[in-house]
Each structure stands twice: as structure tokens, then as C-alpha cells.
């Protein structure tokens, strides 16, 4: 499992390096209140990272947290079982 995670991390890093190297065109990112000069590769990678973070937070808020509350409620309703007696 560790090797698989390591290989996925290396693949993501190399994909990011390739995207950054192939997209060197200068761009101006206008945020409405500020303008930031950057290159296209960095802008693409930042946009992808922000999309992953926002998507993960949305999934966490809409799926994971309600399931945790449901599990906690179900665990509180279970009767406490007596420990098994050994002979």
C-alpha cells in the first residue's frame, strides 16, 4: 500500500511538472480587487488544487458529517451488553 501511494504521488508530481513546463505563457489573473501576474501552468495547477479542495469539503459536509452523526446516534441507542463470562 505504501508503494502504491508513493507511485501515485510521483505520478502527480511529474504531471504537475509537465503541465507547468508546457504552459509557460504569461497570464494576468484578475481577482476583482487585485491583479496578479503569473504563468499559465501555475494558474492551471492552482485552479485544479482549489477545485479538489472545494470538492473535498463539499463531499465532507454533505456526506461524511451526516453519516458520522447517524452513527453516533445509533451507537447511543444500542443497549450495553454484559461482558462474556469465562469458565
Backbone dihedral angles phi then psi of residue 26, each to the nearest 5 degrees: -75, 140
pLDDT of res. 80: 67
* Neighbour-count burial for 22-58, b at 16+ CB within 10 Å, e otherwise: eeeeeeeeeeeeeeeeeeebbbbbeeeeeeeeeeeee
Find the distance separating the first CA and the last CA of the chain, reported in whole Å: 42
Q: What average pLDDT does the structure give for the chain?
A: 90
Please, which pLDDT band fits residue 53 given cuts at 50, 70 and 90?
very high
pLDDT of res. 1: 86
Residue 45 near residue 20 (C-beta atoms within 8 A): yes
Write down the pTM of the prediction.
0.72
The DSSP element (H or E) to which 38 belongs, if any, is strand 35-39
Amino acid at each position: 500500500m505504501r508503494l502504491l501511494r508513493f507511485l501515485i504521488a510521483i505520478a502527480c508530481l511529474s504531471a504537475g511538472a509537465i503541465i507547468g513546463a508546457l504552459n509557460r505563457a504569461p497570464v494576468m489573473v484578475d481577482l476583482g480587487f487585485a491583479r496578479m501576474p503569473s504563468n499559465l501552468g501555475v494558474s492551471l495547477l492552482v485552479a485544479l488544487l482549489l477545485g479538489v479542495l472545494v470538492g473535498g469539503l463539499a463531499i465532507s459536509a454533505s456526506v461524511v458529517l451526516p453519516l458520522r452523526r447517524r452513527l453516533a446516534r445509533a451507537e447511543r441507542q444500542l443497549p450495553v451488553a454484559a461482558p462474556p463470562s469465562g469458565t
